[in-house]
Structure 1
Amino acid sequence: MRRARLRISLITGAIITLLVTVVGGVALTVMTRAQNGQVWRELRYGAARGNLSDPPVCTWLYGPGATPLANAPAGFPVRADLDRVGRTHEAVERTVRRDGTVYLVRTQARAGGAVVQAVFDMRFQLADRRYLWLALGAAEVVGLAAAAVTGAFLGRRAVAPLAEALTRQRRFVADASHELRTPITHVYTRTQVLARQAAAENLPARHRDGLTRLVGSVGRLGEVLDDLLLSASLSADPARRAERRPVDLAALARSVVAEEADRTRDGGLSVVVNGPRHPLFVDGIESALRRAVGELLANAIGHTPAGGRIEVALARVRGAVELTVADTGSGFDPAEAERLFERFHRGGEGGRYGLGLALLREVVTHHGGTVAATGRPGRGARFTIRLPECAPAAAPAPEPPVRAGHP
């Protein structure tokens, strides 16, 4: 929602800026053309018919027998133009930049054959253009401020219904997941009991297999509910930030690997943990981080055949803690790397899909980190989590000793 509001504000600001720029550019172009046209008309008239001893304001006329005025600019007349017009009798116009201003110069031959040069000082017209630029700059600043206010207002009004609907959806998911956890837990426990009884009473194999599949299905359903509940709580409950504390990611990863020891042993997999023995602290919610690391390990176990190898590596990298889980399993197409983290995305033969990896990215992003995946078909996969490092929790101050007093 914040990104949507920001995008609306930026688009509104860009539109207003573009409008002010276009209007200002058009106004400046029209003003420049009008001023230049008017000045050239006056110059042509002055050069053809103007009084050499009494020229118009900001104009100087040079010709035979004319005495230059006291305020005439230095460097005029332009002798090269006078000589050229004297030879060819064709008018010459030029623009001269000198002394911090611009002069428009026209040299022509009058009806009697006298060659006259008219010079016009553009400093006042240039000043008008500078004032216009300043006005456009002020209008741009005001426009940007108005765009920010307008964009924020429009963003809130436009996104508010969507935000409310999303909040209701997340609340519904959280409530439904919470209400379903208890009955599903009871069903899961009951099916486990029935499966053990079936094995103890030596029921037919097809009944035992059916109960085993039922236990697995109910267990996966419980995992999906846990994923939904965690996702909804991370997105819709900012109060969970209060639960954050320094978490030793190295110890947490080793704990998760130990919890999966039976599963990896049954699958014929070897799991190694590499990294420093000292703690690597990150600021976060321990249960959510445990779920994220557990998802990476479960993903690697589920896609690595018997005899394969899984490596969990931890390191400190430029102020961040990096956790990598690499396997020698089925891998995936590199083109699918980003889509693996989409909800319920179904890949190729690797079949990586569901909520797990999507929730993993959600958890990592919620903690200010990043997650990336690399792999090749048949050559395994590597998932890397990077989280900002933090200082360990401060030890509580010891309480002062209690002195026994006399009654």
Structure 2
Amino acid sequence: MSRSWADAERVVVRRARLRVSVLVGLAITVLVGFVGGIAYAVMVHSQDEQVTRELRYNAKYGAPSTPPGCTWLFTFDGGVVEEGVLRAPEGFPLRDDLDVVRASGREVERTVERNGTEYLVLTRPGSGDRTVQAVFDTRYQLADRRHLVVALVIAELGGLLAAAVTGLVVGGRAVAPLAEALARQRRFVTDASHELRTPIARAYTRAQLLVRRARAADLPDEHRDGLDKLAGSIRGLGDVVDDLLLSARLSEESGGLDGRPVDLAALAEAAVATEAERAAERRIALTVERPAGPLLVTGVETALRRAVDELLANAVRHTGAGGRIDVRLGRGRDGCVELTVADTGEGFDPVEADRLFDRFHRGRGGSERRFGLGLALLREVVTGHGGTVEAVGYPGRGARFTLRLPAAGPAGGAAAATPAAAGASARASASWWAPAGASPAATGDQVGGEAHVGVERAVGVDGPDRVGEGVEQRGAAGRRGTPAAHVDGLAQAERE
């Protein structure tokens, strides 16, 4: 599922805290286990040496009639086995070992499991023709080992608990500076973006005024082109600042955005109308298909408009001359509102579908550099509204982006629709086309329409429809959300 910037930051902090906690806990656990393992190994080695030493001593100097505790002695001489007064365990002595040692003259030592315990058996040549066999019962040594293992397990569990608590405490303190640094970074971005908005708006207004005056004065084409590029660069800088501000806002309100019913279909029509001029310049056919009624979702109108704008701008940016962009709105099977933008442009590698929504991502072989937040901001907006966005495409075969948002509840109603919804027409479909020579290539996912040559109509914006000459009208619902001060400032500058 897509995540917002704040969610990503929290994930980073949470992972760092978890990583530190796990490392600290693992270190303590390994230390306790290492110490316990050494203690167990030392104990086993000490017991084995003690048992072997006592067994050899008793086999050499002991007598069957007076064996030490947990030990039995047997002597084999002339075919007769001499046993002590104590009754031997079942299965002893080992006749085969006595015969082997008597025949070879070499001692045999081995461990035998019988009667629910283990016996260490040493058979060796004795004085004269005698053969001695010593049997040691290790049941008490094995019991000591089991007790030690139980104690070590209890200690390990206690160590795990202590490690978990210590890891959480240490992890929280160790990661706190990281969380604070991320919060300061976000605050800095917000403050810097706020400070930059006004001077950028003024610079953009003055650049637009220069563009108009240059055209009125009939300056050379290279001068006017330079001024157009200057205005475009300033506009792009303003877009980046607006993106940063919106992203910071989404980060602060990542728990969910409070909004009101917004007609997504009306927003899409307004966005298509805004992009119509740029599409016409590129000879791109641009159509929109929507139901007759409103498609209400709950959210922030400006943020949703920016998301729709980014989908259209991305499609126009990656569709060549003679291409086609189709915008389709409707309801999904689960009742959600769906907005699909399909184009016949350059497409993308399917393996990069998820990476398209990374910040500042540039596709392989991309010819146009994107310095804004673009699709990453789109994903944040959609996620903040409880929706999803997905991309499907293939190189050279176009791309399709689908945005899904929960439908507004019945309490909102059509009467509560935003001004953008009120300004939209209630027709079933609409079309904005490039000039007739655009030669669109319709596909199975694309919808045709009637041809309207060179027309750009702003839907859902207060005031009369305007077609600017070298000046782009932008308002609260305008493309990319450029401040309305751009337009107002331009009018004031012209009066001055």
Q: Is residue 2:336 matched to residue 1:303? A: no
Q: Is residue 2:59 matched to residue 1:47? A: yes
Aligned to 1:142: 158
Q: Name the SS of the counterpart of 1:53 in structure 2.
A: coil
- CA-CA distance at 1:67 after TM superposition: 4.7
- CA-CA distance at 1:66 after TM superposition: 0.9
Aligned to 2:483: none
Partner AA of 1:41 in structure 2: R
Q: Name the SS of the counterpart of 1:241 in structure 2.
A: coil
Q: Name the SS of the counterpart of 2:113 in structure 1.
A: strand
Q: Deviations over 1:170-208 (max 9, x none)?
A: 112101212322443344345445544554665543444
- Count of aligned pairs: 392
Q: Name the SS of the counterpart of 1:243 in structure 2.
A: coil
Per the alignment, do residues 397 and 209 of structure 1 end up closer, same or farther by CA in structure 2, a change over 3 Å counting? Answer: closer
Per the alignment, do residues 291 and 35 of structure 1 end up closer, same or farther by CA in structure 2, a change over 3 Å counting? Answer: farther
Partner AA of 1:227 in structure 2: D
Cα distance in 2, alignment partners of residues 18 and 137 from structure 1: 13
Q: Name the SS of the counterpart of 1:55 in structure 2.
A: coil
Aligned to 2:193: 177
- CA-CA distance at 1:219 after TM superposition: 1.7
Q: How does 1:237-386 map to 2 (within 5 A)?
A: 237=252, 239-243=253-257, 258=272, 262=276, 263-270=278-285, 288=303, 291-292=306-307, 294-310=309-325, 327-331=343-347, 343-344=359-360, 349-350=365-366, 351-354=368-371, 355-360=373-378, 379=396
Whether the aligned pair in 2 keeps the contact of 1:373 and 1:383 (CA below 8 Å) is yes
Whether the aligned pair in 2 keeps the contact of 1:364 and 1:371 (CA below 8 Å) is yes
Cα distance in 2, alignment partners of residues 240 and 139 from structure 1: 43
Q: Deviations over 1:46-74 (max 9, x none)?
A: 2222221332222223332215734x433
Q: Is residue 2:23 matched to residue 1:5? A: no
Aligned to 1:65: 82
- CA-CA distance at 1:225 after TM superposition: 0.5
Aligned to 1:103: 119
Per the alignment, do residues 206 and 272 of structure 1 end up closer, same or farther by CA in structure 2, a change over 3 Å counting? Answer: closer
Normalising to structure 2: TM-score of the pair? Answer: 0.63
- CA-CA distance at 1:103 after TM superposition: 2.1
Q: Deviations over 1:141-166 (max 9, x none)?
A: 22222222322332333333333233
Q: How does 1:136-215 map to 2 (within 5 A)?
A: 136-192=152-208, 194-196=210-212, 198-199=214-215, 202-215=218-231
Gaps of 5+ in 2: 1-12, 76-80, 414-496
- CA-CA distance at 1:10 after TM superposition: 1.3
Aligned to 1:404: none
Range with greater deviation from structure 2 (140-149 or 283-292): 283-292
Higher relative contact order (CA 8 A, sep 6+): 2
Tell me how large the CA RMSD over aligned residues is.
4.5
Q: Name the SS of the counterpart of 2:204 in structure 1.
A: helix
Range with greater deviation from structure 2 (202-211 or 141-150): 202-211
Aligned to 1:227: 243
Gaps of 5+ in 1: 399-407
- CA-CA distance at 1:220 after TM superposition: 0.9
Partner AA of 2:108 in structure 1: V
Normalising to structure 1: TM-score of the pair? Answer: 0.75
Cα distance in 2, alignment partners of residues 375 and 336 from structure 1: 10
Range with greater deviation from structure 2 (309-318 or 353-362): 309-318
Per the alignment, do residues 310 and 32 of structure 1 end up closer, same or farther by CA in structure 2, a change over 3 Å counting? Answer: farther
Per the alignment, do residues 253 and 28 of structure 1 end up closer, same or farther by CA in structure 2, a change over 3 Å counting? Answer: farther
Cα distance in 1, alignment partners of residues 301 and 412 from structure 2: 24
Aligned to 2:491: none
Per the alignment, do residues 8 and 186 of structure 1 end up closer, same or farther by CA in structure 2, a change over 3 Å counting? Answer: same
Partner AA of 2:65 in structure 1: S
Q: Deviations over 1:315-366 (max 9, x none)?
A: 9799999988665434567887777665445565414542324445656777
